[in-house]
């Protein structure tokens, strides 16, 4: 058996924590010396201590931990809880990394404005385009990525399809329940309807021609695409144009890196002269 100090070192926890767990009946010593009041723990109790600490790190309260210990929760059940917690933490980390990239790109946009960097905006006349697409309400950004993956599987590059595109039909910039039209430009003849794994159907349609399209190309994750929109806005104001239609985003190169930093997007904004 081990004293409180020895057991705390073996378990890598403080003596104060062991005393507290003893007081609330969560982990009691196997023996208390009647004469001295010294408490002693066994090596077998290290497994119980680890169980308590693991459940605590998973975010459970001490009352919840006590109930689980009384129900003799198995190691397999704890492993399942750990996997769920891992997914939750990974999602939180991804969200924080996206926030950091947004902040970095907005700072870069400020620097560009301060140093009066040349605006990388090109005028184009876009003819009518045949596309294979669908229009749907997409719950959030992650669902949009999954839908893009399904579209690319259903319409692979080797089948002769052109660039992937997305058009947002919302009147406002939203992060949830987005009204999106997504698909690919058609470069060869194809069937009129293509099903996706989720049961949705892609149909052939035509995007109208645009006489004057202000365009710019942006390299970087989607969190940085606002830099391109800012450039087009500055260009339009400086040259006497205004926005006049639904914006299109084309993926010139889909991302291969985990953070999406190698994505190459072309923003196409229909514009017209200000009277």
DSSP 96-137: HHHHHHHHHHHHHHHHHHHTTPPP--EEEEE--EEEEEEEEE
141 shares its domain with 45: no
Q: Is residue 190's pLDDT more than 70?
A: no
The domain in which residue 47 lies consists of 2-73
CA separation for the pair 98, 114 (Å, rounded): 24
The pLDDT confidence band at residue 271, using thresholds 50, 70 and 90, is: very high
pLDDT in tens, 40-75: 999 999 989 998 998 888 888 898 888 888 888 888
CA separation for the pair 152, 146 (Å, rounded): 10
CA separation for the pair 90, 107 (Å, rounded): 26
Single out the residue in 39, 56, 73 at which a domain terminates.
Answer: 73
Q: Is residue 272's pLDDT more than 80?
A: yes
Single out the residue in 73, 93, 108 at which a domain terminates.
Answer: 73
Contact status, residue 68 vs residue 53, Cβ threshold 8 Å: no
183 shares its domain with 248: yes
pLDDT in tens, 148-173: 999 999 988 776 788 999 999 998 88
The pLDDT confidence band at residue 214, using thresholds 50, 70 and 90, is: very high
């Amino acid at each position: 058996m081990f004293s409180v100090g020895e057991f705390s070192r073996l378990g890598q926890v403080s003596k104060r924590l062991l005393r507290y767990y003893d007081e609330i009946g969560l982990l009691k010593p196997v023996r208390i010396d009647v004469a001295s009041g010294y408490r002693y723990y066994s090596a077998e109790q290290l497994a119980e201590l680890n169980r308590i600490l693991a459940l605590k790190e998973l975010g459970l309260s001490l009352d919840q931990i006590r109930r689980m210990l009384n129900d003799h929760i198995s190691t397999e059940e704890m492993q399942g809880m750990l996997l769920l917690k891992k997914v939750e933490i990974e999602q939180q980390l991804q969200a924080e990394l996206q926030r950091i990239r947004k902040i970095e790109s907005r700072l870069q946009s400020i620097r560009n404005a301060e140093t009066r960097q040349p605006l990388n905006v090109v005028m184009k006349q876009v003819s009518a385009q045949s596309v294979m697409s669908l229009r749907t309400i997409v719950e959030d950004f992650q669902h949009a990525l999954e839908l893009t993956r399904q579209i690319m599987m259903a319409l692979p590059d080797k089948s002769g399809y052109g660039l992937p595109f997305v058009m947002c039909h919302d009147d406002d910039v939203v992060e949830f329940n987005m009204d999106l039209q997504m698909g690919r430009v058609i470069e060869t003849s194809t069937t009129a309807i293509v099903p996706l794994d989720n049961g949705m159907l892609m149909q052939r349609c035509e995007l109208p021609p645009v006489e004057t399209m202000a365009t710019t190309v942006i390299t970087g994750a989607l969190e940085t695409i606002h830099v391109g929109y800012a450039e087009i806005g500055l260009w339009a104001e400086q040259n006497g144009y205004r926005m006049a239609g639904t914006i299109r985003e084309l993926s010139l190169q889909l991302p291969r890196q985990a953070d999406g930093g190698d994505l190459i997007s072309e923003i196409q904004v229909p514009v017209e002269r200000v009277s």
